[in-house]
Chains A and B, each alone.
Chain A
């Protein structure tokens, strides 16, 4: 049986276990940060951060460092930069995000190409390779997860206030700009985690789709985060299993499942609304 084969593989090979742990850790961050990206509608800015990260990975790779560290540094720098741009120069925001998006990638491509010796496969940066996650990477992912969880817990009400109504938060003396940049940093760290799983091209889909599904039926940000975590976990684990069984790229499989899941959830929501309306009409 293919499925038993699969279970045996998981037990035998550390890389498969690591892949599952990575999926779990990514889903934790994805549920929290994705919720903010969706409710504050900042997926474009998050996309800019994701692509700029290639620059950091390329430089780290060239210097012989762990690309994950380069990614963290670049992600945080671009989050702060884009945050400042969006606060200070709102009218140029689009252009600057687009520029950072492309320039970051260009830097990455150049540094990877001038790195002597064995050339790393660029596609594993672009589309992710969950099977290459090492135990050391897992430790870093775990640390990032804890940091994100702590930030969300401490600033839960403040983030909620600036996402819902920035003006009113300002009236209440909340440091709106500082918190906005902090929120972007939190998203940047999540992007770094997710790049390990699905690569930087597909990261926005994994950031927004599970949270959008969760948003269809949540009354609170906290429950939306929990639901988004579960959706993300389901997509990554089932995507990984399918990818193994059919010998297909895991990152792409995960995203396709998330896309189908989102469409199904939209359809389901629509059906439920129609049914409720019908019921209401039938009542005397």
Chain B
């Protein structure tokens, strides 16, 4: 099995305050990994380490056998749609095209190959008819699809998503998970999620992150122990019980 991501004894701290400790993680080709855990537990930091935006204090992070920086063009990243200003003047098509931009992309002209790839990506997520709309006018679910299309436009081997279903309703949530399951046939996916119960029927592995990381095969995610372990405390377990 080809190793897509491997973290070895990773330690990370912001100003002496440890956020992640002794992280060992291996993601192989075709995996669909959900990263769950409490807020402030280090989920987003883990994602940013894999993207190479942050470097570990000690330990190593490898993507496709190299430091993330060198293979960034093979990674697709989907941030939360709520991070974007509603009034930014940009069309959906131009957002998706930003997934194809390179340091040498000068002048406003858009290459035919890029337009073609963007159209294919929008087709794949079902938003081709929204191409000329202003990004800010889309609904939450449509924005999320546009951001997924942007990540797909560069044909990544690895797709990383940060809570793709935050602030969308549950019907849209299911649509997005169905879409990701389809995409998983051709790429490896790592997804940070807040909703453990729903996710476990789509993914094959779950990583519980709360400063430390523990991997569970998805079919095990039914017992309350694991939930307790990840969220340390009955309080959180109670909140999540109803969804399991």
Contact = CB atoms under 8 A, between A and B. Distances in A.
A172 B74 CA distance: 9
Interface stretch (A78-86, A213-221, A234-242): A213-221
A6 interface: no
Interface residues of B, number: 29
B94 A165 contact: no
B84 A219 contact: no
A161 B101 contact: yes
B91 interface: yes
A164 B84 CA distance: 8
B106 interface: yes
Interface stretch (A62-70, A120-128, A150-158): A150-158
A224 interface: yes
B102 A156 contact: no
Interface in A148-188: 153-158, 160-161, 163-165, 167-175
A106 interface: no
The secondary structure that dominates the A interface is helix
B85 A39 contact: yes
A129 interface: no
- Most chain B CB within 10 A, of A153, A157, A164, A170, is at A157
Interface in A200-244: 215-216, 218-224
A156 B72 contact: no
B89 A223 contact: yes
A167 B53 contact: yes
A154 B106 contact: yes
Contacts of A41: 85
Interface of B: 51, 53, 72-73, 75, 77, 79, 84-85, 87-91, 94-95, 98-99, 101-103, 105-108, 132, 134, 150, 154
Interface of A: 39, 41, 153-158, 160-161, 163-165, 167-175, 215-216, 218-224
